[in-house]
Amino acid sequence: MRRAELDFGDYGERVLRVLDWFHVAMRVQNLEQMMKGLPDRDERPCVDTLIDALRIAKWHLWHGCPYPALQRLERLGWELATDDSPEEARLLARLEEFIGYLENNQRFIVNYGDRYRHGEPITSSFVESAVNQVVSKRFVKRQHGVATGSCARPSAGEDVRPE
């Protein structure tokens, strides 16, 4: 059984590092959208077959099995390598980038389905959203009343008519 990497955090506590599911799912969704835009060709399987193979790889990733997912994605790459259309070349490049991303981070892939069923986090998007809101509020406060130059608002007593 594979385990995600355990590490020590900033304060000495043990930390389980997990690859964020949101980022994995968004990359898969992007690949699927690119596949839907491919023209049908006689030399390779139809678009629906390619999408099914991608979804099976996503299923393996969801269940914490990166090795079968990577094998499925590499086979998918071989299916795409038969044509040199610009759409297919872009898709193949994006697929190869995704495979590299998974290979570099496979030790951080966990059983997301199990974590989800047990109420454990599978994504950090809620934390990222909270941080973005705090940064945005601070930025707005900093910008409030700092306008200069031609964009500056006139004060209440200033004449704003053009000369």
When mean pLDDT is compared over 67-71, 86-90, 104-108, 119-123, the highest value belongs to 67-71
> Does 78 reside within a domain?
yes
> Does 143 reside within a domain?
no
> Does 75 reside within a domain?
yes
Q: Does residue 51 have a pLDDT over 60? A: yes
Which amino acid is present at 76?
A: L
Chain centroid offset of residue 100 CA: 14
Residue 14: beta bridge partners? Answer: 8
Chain centroid offset of residue 132 CA: 17
Identify the pLDDT of residue 1: 37
Q: What is the C-alpha separation between 4 and 163, in angstroms, rounded? A: 69
Q: Does residue 2 have a pLDDT over 60? A: no
Token pair in block for residue 60: 């393996």
> Does 137 reside within a domain?
no
> Does 18 reside within a domain?
yes
Q: What is the C-alpha separation between 93 and 86, in angstroms, rounded? A: 11
The CA-atom distances, in angstroms, between 54 and each of 22, 93, 107, 122, 151 are 16, 15, 21, 20, 51
* Residue 85 belongs to domain with CATH number: 1.20.1440
DSSP state of 38: S
DSSP string computed for 23-89: HHHHHHHHHHHHHHTSPP-SSS--HHHHHHHHHHHHHHHHTT-HHHHHHHHHHHHHHHTT---HHHH
> Does 163 reside within a domain?
no
**How many distinct structural domains can be found in the chain?**
1
Identify the pLDDT of residue 146: 56
Residue 149: beta bridge partners? Answer: none
- Structural domain span for residue 112: 6-117
Q: Does residue 156 have a pLDDT over 70? A: no
Q: Which residue has the higher pLDDT, 81 or 66?
A: 66
